[in-house]
Chains A and B, each alone.
Chain A
């Protein structure tokens, strides 16, 4: 069954939106050309040079003004018509009539003292402001939607139980009479798993990434740098689903068979498999951010250290690293945020069972894995099970938000220090 409009129950595609758009575009072009010609006529008609010079805006601005007004109005009518589910002929009629009225109005504005350019530029600036506020709207949208759904969830499951409970088995709470029973939605094992995977990833990525950044900025020749840097950046361009598959297909089985050869048993899906692959994914993230901050440390500090007889590594560790430390901490915080929010690798390689363990060689589950597990396939939306995914999402958002903002502020302060 084709999807239907919320308001009318009509299907969306009963109206040909591209056709409306073509009509509107055509009217816009017509309005532009007509208004521009008219403006040229009027300007030319005012005989003396003196007057024509006092014509405020150039003809094409009158054209843009007319075209803009006509198309904006028509576009608004189209969207309103589609949402309200009006029949196609009526929408077209409305578009033509209202656009015609708008055009007629713009005719009256084509005169010497009408500041068409200012109006057009004001409209452009307003459009730009709207573009900028979309970022804020998106954040508000995220916060509101997560909060709203989470509050519905917390009506069934007390917040404290969710944040401190040790038992996570949302699948058993599928039946309605069972929903909200305490114990099933204790998210501590999920948080612990997230933390464990993050820890594995960062303990691989942080030393590697930092060493790469330090080596590239202090030791590598220009040539080495020009080869190694893009090669490292390839790692950043690989989609996470590819890393996930790599963990599942190659790394997990390798770790398992290696453990078997030592007489231990490690499942294919484990915190170590997911974490180590995630660590590799984060290496370029840390190395390029640290490279930036290390390069921001002024050369004069290095010179000062060399002039005292310090070796390169002494200079790097004792002077440059110290100077870059705030920036590096910022980079690490962003990397942690990235590791916590990473989804595909853990979905494919960490497992689904909520084990409360500190052993990285066991399967664990993470916040993102649970969100995916709870929300894919199931279209029911009002069970505690699906709503719990939003509660997890809220926790994820809040934690990453805090990490990001702290990191951004630290990095910004750091930049100002050496600017």
Chain B
């Protein structure tokens, strides 16, 4: 009876094993499928954003000879700022375009008006005249001269040249007319319309016209908000973490504080916005839309994250370090601040940077406190109305035009690049400074 065949070696067992191995393979395949799904979602997300967004980083502009006709700008010969401010630059630009395309003269008078309008619409209709206004304002001596300027084309022309407009439909159904297409082609061939890096996207403020809009004001708003957030959340978060980990007694009250912090880290961010609206704006009378309020709200949102990160960094420092310091006569406070904190610093910094990156992406609480201002100037103080980069993205996303969705995606690319940089620094810091015990 010694070598009685095992029940695990029979035909039944082998058949069953086959089935079990199959379910094993299926389970494994599900795991891989889940990862592939998540990766594809990420790729799709990034692909669709980059695919639409990269086109906003270049823009077409038009080189044009403009005669600064004295009779239009300063009919009475005066050069005083008021006259120059109110002068009809639009007409100057219309004339300049007309000079470039004198053929319009030959059209019937009704047709001629439409043609002139379409002709002018090739350039950014508010950007072009404004540009000239600023030039003349800076140097009134220019009046009467003929100058060569480079101005952005209208967003429609820009989109047409980027191939985003469908021109195979009847003329009435599209935003660009046959005549405009012909002109644009001419200008393109002669090199008068050229594509170049879109500096405006980075260095201009918001605008109603997509071809002029940029993220500068919201970017500065974000920086200011983050400055306030960091100033408040970092010391408070680190301080609270030190107390909880080092000095706090073990009792119900401290337990309550801990549950509180963990819960606060999971409270929806919009609730912090409501808190800011009710307490900071309505009760304390702080200025609406201001970076200082946004900063405080985001600090409240971020500091629980910093506490949690700091605590895990502090816990990673072995207690022997503190005990060593205590044994040579340092007080508890000295042991913590002189020894433990410096050793935990990389972890604390890493956690804080990641927390700040989260705060930088927050949108909802800022909507609550009205940081949705339309800004044509860069905010210069913490109490002025401002907006933030993610809010700018939200505001731009409301417009359906291709030119806007391009810019929205481009702003997202910039935001993501900032976040990648921040996280990259965090990872670098961690790998560079982290000690292993």
Contact = CB atoms under 8 A, between A and B. Distances in A.
B52 A249 contact: yes
B88 interface: no
Contacts of A239: 360-363, 390, 415, 419
A258 interface: no
B363 A240 contact: yes
Interface stretch (A29-37, A68-76, A131-139, A163-171): A131-139
A375 B44 contact: no
A214 B31 contact: yes
A4 B354 CA distance: 35
Interface string A120-139: 01001101111111111011
Contacts of A238: 45, 361, 416
A135 B31 contact: no
A314 B26 CA distance: 12
A121 B33 CA distance: 56
A379 B283 CA distance: 14
Interface string B399-437: 000000100110010011001000100000000000000
A211 B31 contact: yes
B42 A348 contact: no
Which applies to chain B's interface (DSSP): helix, strand, loop or mixed? helix
B278 A13 contact: no
B285 A5 contact: yes
A401 B274 CA distance: 16
Contact of B271 (A136, A240, A376, A393): A393
A128 B242 contact: yes
B34 interface: yes
Contact of B235 (A131, A343, A401): A131
B292 to A, nearest CB: 9
Contacts of B286: 3
B147 interface: no
A125 B370 CA distance: 37
Given A131-B236, A235-B41, A341-B269, A245 B397 contact: yes
Given A132-B240, A249-B52, A3 B364 contact: no
A232 interface: yes
B275 A145 contact: yes
A335 to B, nearest CB: 10
A400 B266 contact: yes
Contacts of A377: 372
26 contacts: A12-B287, A128-B242, A131-B240, A132-B239, A135-B257, A136-B257, A138-B264, A139-B264, A148-B278, A211-B30, A212-B34, A215-B30, A215-B35, A231-B42, A237-B419, A239-B360, A239-B363, A240-B361, A240-B363, A241-B361, A243-B45, A245-B49, A283-B41, A312-B24, A338-B266, A375-B277
The 7 closest A-B pairs by CB, nearest first: A341-B268, A239-B361, A215-B31, A3-B287, A131-B239, A6-B285, A211-B34
Given A128-B239, A212-B31, 15 more contacts: A2-B383, A3-B285, A3-B383, A117-B331, A142-B271, A145-B279, A146-B278, A211-B33, A238-B45, A242-B393, A283-B41, A311-B20, A343-B363, A372-B364, A400-B266
